[in-house]
Amino acid sequence: MRVAFVADPLETLDPSVDTSVGLMHAAQDRSAEVWVTEGRLLEACDGRARGLARQVHLAPSEPAGDHRWIAAERWFTASEPQHIWFDDMSAVFIRTEPPVDPSYLAATLILDVVDPSRTAMVNRPAGLRACSEHLLPLRFPDLIPPTVVTADPRTVRSFVTDHRVAVVKPIDGFAGRGVLVLDGEDRNLPSLIEMTTGGGSAAVMLQPFLPQVADGNKRIFLLDGTPVGAIYRFPALGDFRIGDPSAEAPVTARDREICARLAPSLTQHGVRMAGIDVIGPYLIEVNVTSPGALRKADGMLGWSLCADVVDTVLGTPNIRRSA
Selecting from 3.40.50.2300, 3.40.50.620, 3.30.470.20, 3.30.1600.10, what CATH number does the domain 212-313 have? Answer: 3.30.470.20
Q: What is the DSSP string of 174-241?
A: -TTTT-EEEETT-TTHHHHHHHHHTTTTS-EEEEEPPGGGGG-EEEEEEETTEEEEEEEEEEPTT-SS
- What pLDDT score was predicted for residue 322? 42
CATH 3.90.25.10 is right for the domain spanning 2-123: no
| Residue 129, H or E segment | helix 125-130
Asked whether residue 275 carries a pLDDT value surpassing 70, the answer given is: yes
N-to-C CA span, the chain: 29
Express each pLDDT in 155-188 by its tens digit.
Answer: 999 999 999 999 999 998 776 677 999 999 999 9
Neighbours of 120 (CB within 10 A): 20
Domain boundaries, the chain: 2-123, 146-209, 212-313
Q: What share of the chain is helix, strand, coil (3-state, %, to 5)?
A: 30, 30, 40
Say if residue 270's pLDDT is above 90: yes
Residues 71, 63: Cα–Cα separation, whole Å? 9
Buried b (16+ CB within 10 A) or exposed e, 293-303: bbbbbbbbbeb
For residue 99, whether the previous peptide bond is cis, meaning omega lies within 30 degrees of 0, is yes
Percent of the chain with pLDDT over 70: 95
**What distance in Å separates the CA atoms of residue 3 and residue 35, rounded to the nearest whole number?**
6
CA distances from 21 to 95, 173, 256 (A): 10, 22, 29
User: Exposed, middle or buried: residue 192 (CB in 10 Å: 0-12, 13-18, 19+)?
Assistant: middle
Pairing assessment for the beta strands 120-122 and 91-94 based on DSSP bridges: parallel
Query: At the top level of CATH, which class does the domain 146-209 belong to?
Result: alpha beta
Q: Give the chain's count of helices (H) and strands (E).
A: 8, 19
Q: Are 4 and 92 in contact (CB under 8 A)?
A: yes
Relative orientation angle of helices 19-29 and 305-313, to the nearest 10 degrees: 60
pLDDT digits (tens, 9 = 90+) for 187-246: 999 999 999 999 999 999 999 999 988 888 999 999 999 999 999 998 776 666 667 888
Is there a common fold for 2-123 and 146-209? no
70-85 pLDDT, tens per residue?
999 999 999 999 999 9
